[in-house]
Amino acid sequence: MNKFYLLLSLSFVFIATSCGNQSLEGEYKNTGEGCSSKFYCGVYDTVEFRGKNTAVIKGMGVVFATSYLRDGELITLKGDTRDLLFTVKDDKTLVGEGFAEGIYKKY
């Protein structure tokens, strides 16, 4: 009976940790889709997530590193004057708002 409870506890821990740890690691490229104007689709070409809280943003000839915070399906990247907001659509798709407007795909 003790083995049953031990296996049940270990199974619960495994499921809880694997569901809550969806990694953003990798580079997401702006596809040019999902924009409010056909002439403007965000100023950033790519967003690369490294580790648990570092992101590298590239666009308009500029590359800068910043930190990010994930709260469920929302990701906030810290900017110099304003933060950038992304929504996680699935494990390979982000949707950016404001200056980061557009759909970003992980390849």
Confidence label for 17 from pLDDT (cuts 50, 70 and 90): very low
Using alpha carbons only, give the angle 72, 83, 59 rounded to the nearest 5 degrees. Answer: 105
Task: Quick: pLDDT tens for 38-81.
Answer: 778 888 999 999 999 999 999 989 999 999 999 999 999 998 88
pLDDT at residue 14 in the model: 42
Which range is least confidently modeled, 21-30, 51-60, 87-96? 21-30
Query: Whole-number mean pLDDT of the chain?
Result: 83
Q: Are 98 and 85 in contact (CB under 8 A)?
A: yes
Task: Give 45-90 as a DSSP string.
Answer: SEEEEETTTEEEEEETTEEEEEEEEEETTEEEE--SSS-EEEEEEE
Confidence label for 22 from pLDDT (cuts 50, 70 and 90): low
